[in-house]
Structure 1
């Protein structure tokens, strides 16, 4: 029987998910969900098509695109790409979506090659990609260049290693049971508030961010690209202002999502110096995802990370009582943040490995 040739075409991004041309985009979200389930048993790590579309429709701060691989009419894989729009950005961020049923027949090689070609065409000199790994030991274990963490090898990590990618960093994915006893969180928060003293105060809001906080929130969001541990992954410093905060929140809230923000303000300067975000999709019974969490470098050591995490978890229980768990990712070398997570009940459920390649 003759082999059906592989074709790769640009992913169609619809204006609305109800449009006649939305089938590919919906399939992309479902494929991502399938692969998260196959790789680590956590399909909810993948955003829905409704959650994806607002970001893909707004190219102001990041350009998103994808390619679809088919054999005949059957979709056998996809690759998505994201290009930060800062002038200094060198990297293309890539997500390779090839399920177990079609892996090993050249689909993944063709899509990875197509992504590298597109990155070069857009003037990028780096490709970055993340692989998911279950929390288990096996004969072949991988350790990143940071030296922090270890994960079992997978077909995707084998592909990346053989194609010149370097394993730079490991992130731990942890979950917190929102239906568990909240007393340990309350006690930890009270202790942290005592340690921080009167130099700091907690502020909180539901997105959209109130106008009086937008500039300050923009400043602390900008530090995520420079202050968060990232090993040798090359991330351009992001440029933030109040207008970008508004754009970001329109993308987040446009899909029916809800976001709670708890921040800490330095009383004498008035600056926001720490924050934590919790996000849930339109289905309020679904998994909650922690988005940004950061403490500004010069304000570390005052237990502000503990304050924003604990205060937001307690707030979230009141806002979203039907959500079962919070899922979060943290760099393995970020021991202070992992200490906080472990102390209040987060438990590791999967890992993400960060890969990088000069092209």
Structure 2
């Protein structure tokens, strides 16, 4: 048996199709509660990378059968010594050296590019959660990677949400948020808030727990905000936003975003929620999350599940999410490896 690794790019539809089949098979085994992977989701990520990021891809074949793939995400503005790695092996072909072959290819490419560090994530079980294969964690540890940040995925099942409790939480948050008002929008940020969204987005690495990950804060300006919006549109994703405006200054000082993939309308991801440090203590994070949850549910009647990830030691945001009814599902580990 011979393992072959071949690079490909976004113009190679045959290779993209083969990688998609591997990804779909792996997700069905490793994350069975995820919605079935759609081709739109997978291809969108390859064809439309985020601003200031380039990709390198490779496909692994075993006796001419596609058995694994690799995507390297290469920051081009900040964190230029880093590379994020997505390495997936078909469940039927694991423990045959495919992962090692893909990893070896990745290291050769990254060294040629002058990169010094790989960051990658794996999933595992929680003590009282559903079973999850430990194959990813074992592989990362065997390569010498170090666990740098632990996260937990939580899920809100919409039909089980306690809307009366949400009403009470929202009333309390509004009472505490005197001098602020909420605004909502889809897709394109209103021009008067785009600089503030960039500022808040830039604070994410500074304000959120990052464990031992070696990360620089991103400098997100209005141009990059618009670039992200274009990418999400090109990928066929529908973002819903809620912000909080400080009425005295007119600035947007808190922001939350939920993203829906129309091809999988029952599922969404709760992504960033962040509050300007100068405006904390007024329940603005809770306010934006509840208002945005209501906003997305009013526009997405088929939505049934919302997932979110938090650093395991982000006690403040975890408390907010659990108040809203998010419950822990599985554990995720961000690994780091110097090359």
Q: TM-score, normalised by structure 2?
A: 0.92
Does the alignment pair 1:270 with 2:262?
Answer: no
Q: 1:218 to 1:288 in 2, by over 3 A?
A: same
Distance in 2, Cα, partners of 1:78 & 1:155:
16
Encode CA deviations 1:311-354: one digit per residue, 9 max, x unaligned.
11111110101111111111111111110111111111222110
- Say what the alpha-carbon RMSD is for the aligned residues: 2.3
Q: Which residue of 1 aligns with 2:3?
A: 6
Counterpart-to-counterpart distance in 1, 2:18 and 2:250? 46
Deviation at 1:51, TM superposition (A): 5.6
**2:114 corresponds to which residue?**
123
1:92 lines up with 2:89 in the alignment: no
Q: In structure 2, do the counterparts of structure 1 residues 70 and 214 end up closer, same or farther at CA, with 3 Å as the change threshold? A: same
- Greater relative contact order (Cα 8 A, min sep 6): structure 1 or 2? 2
Show the 5 A alignment for 1:180-329.
180=160, 181-198=162-179, 200-283=180-263, 285-329=265-309
Structure 1 range deviating more: 111-120 or 329-338: 111-120
Are 1:64 and 2:61 counterparts? no
- Deviation of residue 284 (structure 1)? 5.8
Unaligned runs of 5+ in 1: 15-20, 139-150
Shift of 1:28: 2.5
Count of aligned residue pairs for this structure pair: 337
In the alignment, is the contact (CA less than 8 A) between 2:184 and 2:295 conserved in 1?
Answer: no
The Cα of 1:216 is off from its aligned counterpart by 1.5
Give CA deviations for 1:29-53 in whole Å, capped at 9, x if unaligned.
Answer: 3433332331232333867445643
CA shift in 2, pair 1:306/1:274, >3 Å: same
Whether the 8 Å CA contact 2:40–2:235 is kept in 1: the answer is: no
Q: Is it true that 1:133 corresponds to 2:124 in the alignment?
A: yes
TM-score (norm 1): 0.87
8 Å contact kept, 2:182–2:242: yes
What stretches of structure 2 of length at least 5 have no aligned partner?
none
- Note closer, same or farther for the CA distance 1:82–1:231 as it changes in structure 2 (3 Å cut): same
> Contact 1:166–1:355 at 8 Å: present in 2 too?
yes
How many angstroms apart in 1 are the aligned matches of 2:263 and 2:27? 19
Match of 2:141 in 1: 161
Change (3 A) 1:134 1:114: same
Shift of 1:238: 1.2
- Asked whether the 8 Å contact 1:289–1:327 carries over to 2, the reply is yes
Whole-angstrom CA distance in 2 between matches of 1:355 and 1:107? 19
Q: Is the 8 A contact 1:92 1:128 kept in 2?
A: yes
User: Following the alignment from structure 2 to structure 1, what is the Cα–Cα distance between the partners of residues 222 and 9?
Assistant: 31
